[in-house]
Amino acid sequence: MRAKIVQENRIFVVVLVGLFIVAGIILANLRSFSAVESAVIRQIQDTQRFETAKAAQQIESRIFQMRDELSTLSKVQDIPALSEKRCSAGITHERVSSVLDILARANARGEVTACSSPEIAYFAGLNIANKEYFSIPKSTGKPYISGKESFGPVNQIIITSPIYTSGYALSSSFQGILLSTLTVNELFEDEIYPILNVPEKKFFIIDLEDLEVIATDETRFDVARIAAALPRSERIISKRITTDKIGEIILTSSEFVVGAEKWRLGIYTPMSSVAHDLRIFQQRNLYSLLFVLAIVVAVSIFLISLYRSKEDVESKLNEVSIALDKLGLKVRTDVPGSDSPSSIELLPQQLREKESLLPQEMEVLEFINAQNAENKLISFKDINKKFNITKPTTRARIAMLTGKHLAEIEQRGRFKTLKITEKGRKLLSV
């Protein structure tokens, strides 16, 4: 019995020493927190600078690639995707090339006669002869990229290329233009949205010539004031500046070319959100230290009480053994234990709800949960791309999940993001 008590006490001593070591490590981390804070801010700034420059480069490359593909298509005499009927509502959109989503064609008089999708049906029947995106390619024989063009609430870039009877300007007559569009909203969803991985991070796009704001998700103040203070001689900028509305921010920006214009993409993160994350990190370390110290105290008290109680039990057992020995009896002190297996039954309601979902709806819910777990924003377009399904099918899948309160839609300005609910997480764990 004494050997067993000594062995158990050694195990507790080892655990106690390990807890003291862990507590010392956490305390050392707290003392070096100021260095950690500077390193984290530096890392955030470097990462944001890289992401901003990459997004601006991708936007510029995409516009030039659209121009080149449009120029190639303009030499094709018959493009099946173009039709007068497709400019009418209710016709399914048809992609015409790897980077061109939609096309329209205007004749030599500037009248738009056909298009590939009802998304640009507002061009149908228009005469664009007096627009620069028609007159310039007509006079130069070269493709043209416009700056910002507004059609109602939609801001977009228009890319055009001239059409000739034999496909080449020098050997034939001008027949009109091919036209494609790229909305600012598409640029946001495809290139900018993926790097806005925390709700506090914001963006803006401005025209460097007149500092006109092309797009932004900032609603608290005029971002043109920030842009005006940036040096125009630098293509890529990374700095910490102070604003009167949200205090200090980490701002990174990069220029990119849109036709004859220069635009600037800016991404910024308030220091308050960064400091909040750092405070949470510090608090977690402090709570961990207090928790470990509490365990150390509890284990110490338990060891002392266990040692005393086992000494008392051993003393009483010895007395009983002596008494029984006098009567010629023996005492068995090893009492076998038993484990009682337990099980958890699935709730019938959860089973019925899980079985009512289509396999793809479960996959969509798992994808939303995985992205949320990584603190990533997820949009309808992400679902569309991930599962290679149409927009109506995507909306139907999301409607089923939100209708059952397994997921919810969060509005971020003009953009919608998806979040899994507590009920959805519980259903996945079934």
Q: What is the pLDDT of residues 141-198, one digit of tens each?
A: 999 999 998 887 788 999 999 998 875 655 678 889 999 999 998 889 889 999 887 7
Q: Which residue has the higher pLDDT, 311 or 148?
A: 148
Helix (H) or strand (E) holding 265: strand 261-270
Residue 180, Cβ neighbours under 10 Å: how many? Answer: 25
Q: Which residue has the higher pLDDT, 3 or 73?
A: 73
Amino acid at 414: R
| Domains by residue range for the chain, with CATH | 44-53+189-274 (3.30.450), 74-188 (3.30.450.20), 348-429 (1.10.10.10)
Q: What is the pLDDT of residues 115-137, one digit of tens each?
A: 887 777 788 888 999 999 999 99
In contact, 97 and 191? CB cutoff 8 Å? no
The whole-number pLDDT of residue 27 equals 67
Question: Where does the pLDDT of residue 410 fall: very low under 50, low under 70, confident under 90, or very high at 90 and above?
Answer: confident
Q: Hey, is 18 helix, strand or coil? A: helix
Please state, in angstroms and rounded to a whole number, the distance separating the CA atoms of residues 200 and 316.
Answer: 67
Mean pLDDT calculated for residue range 398-421: 86
Q: Which residue has the higher pLDDT, 333 or 37?
A: 37
The whole-number pLDDT of residue 117 equals 78
Mean pLDDT across the chain: 79
Q: What is the DSSP string of 322-371?
A: HHHHHTT----------------PPPHHHHHHHHTS-HHHHHHHHHHHHH
Give the single-character DSSP code of 171. Answer: G
> Is 248 a residue whose pLDDT tops 60?
yes
> Is 342 a residue whose pLDDT tops 50?
no
Residue with tokens 């396999």: 359
Amino acid at 196: L
Closest CA to 126 of 148, 110, 141: 110
Put simply, whether the predicted model's pTM sits higher than 0.75 gets the answer no
Give the single-character DSSP code of 244. Answer: T
Q: What is the DSSP string of 70-110?
A: HHHHTT-S--TT-BSGGGSTTPPP---SSS----EEEETTS
The segment with the largest mean pLDDT, out of 167-181, 336-350, 355-369, is 355-369
